[in-house]
A and B are shown apart, each in its own frame.
Chain A
């Protein structure tokens, strides 16, 4: 790759041991002779604890090079243009079936060893004009009755839609469950009338704890000042009845702001029944002059009782968020062995690239969180908080300041990058948005994206992918915004109205005239930590940028969306990168042992299962317009040849 970097440069110059309770659930499914224990992959994060860990050992670092495509199928649910799809579903394997949600909000049930479709369910939730989230799906949820009775719907698969409906379908037949909501449909949007500007998007499957579904939603927090307040719903898994709500926005602030919703995954401790909610930033995202009152549950990790919604503890990880650095992934639960003690903990890696590790029963930090001073805002009416939480150890995934301007990108653009950088405000992490433009470091792309990391609970090795992406945030005074954009809520140039507030907003990617990043690579990394000691074990550029078909050097890495999964045999499986490849990585060294081209970037989390004696690794390959225009509807499984 040095050769590639050289060639490109030349061309540019010319031109702890886990507690038993935290081990992944192993439930009986029909299996043939097999060295691996029977296992399922029955939740978005692999299990309730969001560990993304499989006990499968058939595929090893030694034989992974022989991995071949076992089957592939195409759901048919892919589209571009105005109705562009974004598919980041984690396939589930449970009930001897692979279940996957699609961006047209259908459920597809697939035979685990052949990829043949068993049944499909169409929610029709993708019809009509695109709502705030458009055609976007991150999968389905699964519930099984603990004491099943005769008749259907003792096992239910759920899919949400962009119009705020939640559908419950019999897992065996694919027929709607008549006893769930109204003929199998719960209109969650009807529960959210306050300040309703759009229909809430149920793109993220609910978490399941006993007979309760814990459901968040996705909003559109760039376009209005006052929006739907972020509410989390506890729903009866069997009937669809509302059991409880948790309001993130304080009632007295509901006329000033909105959202701060939970749009990412939710993890649950099956022993204590605590659900861990990663909350997002309030609206409008980038100007907080109208919402200066403290809102402690916003941009925080909040632990609630999964069956009542009662708050046990909360910890705000970004004060007065004016950067849209939502807490965006389900915390990974683990038991840390530290100083002779076993600490029930969670890891909340976040968009700021910080490795927050908390006692999951109390919310107290396992390693210290310090309040560090950050720059003030120069915007009239805005008051950026003087300090923000910072976690010096475990080592942050990204540095305090953005990387220097890329000489190559600067030279080939005749100095465009350095001139641009000189014009804008850059004081490192938490530089507040400004009218002249500020570097947002890290930007809304992270740091760590919505997949979070994966954990080997037998060794407490945690692996996480992270982005290294500065963007430029500019506030546009209302009069200027109205003059230029009129009543438009958004514009292709990155404008978002933040209507009702004193400023519109413009997001720009820090790219030169040729589309090259203006900062030095790498653009993305994969890191491994020993979570008993907090020590960083290895950190490597991950993935490759692919532009016009040309692969950039591996040392440059790639922006990633999606997450890894770990197996007991010592492998990390991950797609996520821009180059439309899925990879197997050696857990010990971080070296790539196997890779395979798929139809588009696999911006999802793989599922790993064994069925009839064979281990499979399945990826939903959907693509994401943020990374590349290449989209797909491919569901692909890999296994070792017979």
Chain B
């Protein structure tokens, strides 16, 4: 199968394989942009992979006071889980431990309730109110119900429930095959910045980049996943290596989105930005990870992403 070329960089004619996930979005607000970001960063910490962390989470956008329900600075975060039950468990733990505790914070649903993709509602404030030990009060404002839990800086205000999103997808990805670590990392950073500019998509790994791409299963009994040896440069030359001789480093980005369209848009933005900058940064090729197409029902073919969005 002939490879594709974008901005002079080879793009393998393959696809990223992604999965249906349960997802929700929150708007976290605080007195200052810094404290909103602290709450969001804390809540989305240790959320790189749903297998090991229980959830995948990240910051989707920083919001100005004009964009938030309470007129304060805010941050929109996305949270993904295997299913609605697992997502709810992680939602309560993360809001309860990381946002309730953050000074001046408040929590709102990050998806409009009249959005056509709204799914099952997850009780959030209605569960966290029990921290108020019977002193919490509910307040309905403009058709939405909030819980006001007394805390030591005043009140923690949290929306009673937040909606899940139907059609959320996790696992969109791109792999950057480069020559030198520093330059390839720069390519990945450029790709991350482009993907993060796309609404409704997050990149849950550190800085949006993962250097330890994995394959399903392992030689060690009981391991669910293990290193993606085909793309490890120190294993070049062995049977099964997918790397040409000139590639000495591979970095990956992983994208979760509230819809297949948002994942595709983020992958497209990352593919174009990375190949555009990659010529001067020693980028050899861009490819994507899949499991043969048998595990996830969403296949993002790089061939389809090379063209500009329709």
B and A form one assembly: no
